[in-house]
Amino acid sequence: MILPDAALGVLGGGQLGRMFAMAARSMGYRVITWDPDPSSPARDFSTHHLSAGFDDEKAISFCLDNVQAITTEFENVPVGTLEKLSKKRIVLPDSHGVGICQDRIREKTFLRQCGFPVPAFQPILHPEDLDSLPSSFHFPALLKKSRLGYDGKGQRQVRDVLEAVRIYHEWGNVPCILEEKVPFLREVSVILGRTRGGEIRYYPVSENIHREGVLELSAAPAQISPELAGRLCAMAGSIAEKMEYAGVLAVEYFMLSEEHFLVNELAPRPHNSGHFTLDGCMTSQFEQQVRILCDLPLGETDLIAPSAMGNLMGDLWSNGKPDFGVLLSNPRVKLYLYGKSEARPGRKMGHFTLLAGETAHALEETRSLLQKLRSPGGAV
């Protein structure tokens, strides 16, 4: 058990690292953040910031000398760095789990080999792979870069093989995955925390609404039956067990009907769709991340009230700073800004959570607040 005043490290300095650091600092830990960007959002809440590449040997040595345990806030950390750190320090999640999740081909192959339902897919490692698709493969499909894609980046919808070939060449023939486009009713996600000893706590299933490939709204509990929610959680737990995973894990699903679903993606970290836990649950996903890293008992994940989260994207700044009074005048809204200096279209600048009496009302009110911020009078 690692107790307060110890130093914890986090690889990655974005908003997830920032909220991890906030949780850790409030619990009495010191936090060393590591990110190439010297002005990364997590720096505001760190006791020391390493501005270096994730394979920098001096930064690795500094962490080995100064922290007791290390976690990550995104999956694109070099596996080799995690392996070097784990020789002397606790690293959660470990290089095995991160390695599976940072490569779409490896992730989908792992899930399929373990018997978990996934959309039909084909690895594309060479141009000729697109000429030898099985006759059972159907278009339209999604061509996705196998690595370094997130928030809709690194993926394109393709109508046929010819379009897939053209985009594959545009991307420089990097490894890709071609995935059948699934006609789903809704997207939902399960976030869990699992200890090294295998104990698991599940957060309420959330339902997610995307806009241009980026999560816009998320609400919990999802408007599905308790029986289905239980099945989704059980499968997420089985995935974590098969990976021998320790840490916070997000499992995204496509709901094809009220009974049938497919696993879409895994995230080996706290997740955007779990931000409602900051105010809507007994223990936030970020506090849970600290607890697992420090081998503390898992926090309870009971829902305090139905909650919704709205992402504040850089587009809202296009006509000036948004009128945050629209949000702060509502006593059931909590605002989180990430301290990013430059607002760009598609960039997550912050979010807000709203607590309500039921999920449908929380979603409706959150959608209305976002619309007010986008209106001509929504900037100051």
CA 46, CA 53: separation in Å to the nearest integer?
18
44 in a known ligand binding site: no
Q: Which residues contact 261 (CB under 8 A, 6 or more apart)?
A: 117, 188, 232, 253, 254, 255
Which residues, in sequence order, are bridge partners of residue 113?
Answer: none
104 in a known ligand binding site: yes
CA 197, CA 318: separation in Å to the nearest integer?
48
CB 278 within 8 A of CB 353: yes
187 in a known ligand binding site: yes
Residue 202's φ and ψ, nearest 5 degrees, are -105, 140
- DSSP type of residue 44: G
Task: Show the beta-strand stretches assigned E in the chain.
Answer: 7-11, 30-34, 48-50, 69-72, 90-91, 121-124, 141-145, 155-158, 176-180, 186-194, 200-202, 206-211, 214-220, 247-255, 261-267, 307-313, 333-337, 348-355
At residue 263's C-alpha, the angle toward residues 259 and 268, to 5°, is 135
CB burial of residue 150 (10 Å; 0-12, 13-18, 19+): middle
CA 272, CA 8: separation in Å to the nearest integer?
22
150 in a known ligand binding site: yes
Cα R_g (the chain), whole angstroms:
21
Tokens representing 93? 């999640």
144 in a known ligand binding site: yes
155 in a known ligand binding site: yes
149 in a known ligand binding site: yes
265 in a known ligand binding site: yes
Please measure the distance between the N-terminal and C-terminal CA atoms of the chain and give it in whole angstroms.
Answer: 48
152 in a known ligand binding site: yes
Tokens representing 112? 């399929």
- The Cα-based distances of 102 to 71, 358, 359 in angstroms read 15, 35, 32
Which residues, in sequence order, are bridge partners of residue 49?
Answer: 33
CA 333, CA 354: separation in Å to the nearest integer?
5
151 in a known ligand binding site: yes
Residues making up the binding site: 104, 144, 149-155, 179-182, 187, 210, 264-265
Query: Residues within the annotated binding site for ATP?
Result: 104, 144, 149-155, 179-182, 187, 210, 264-265
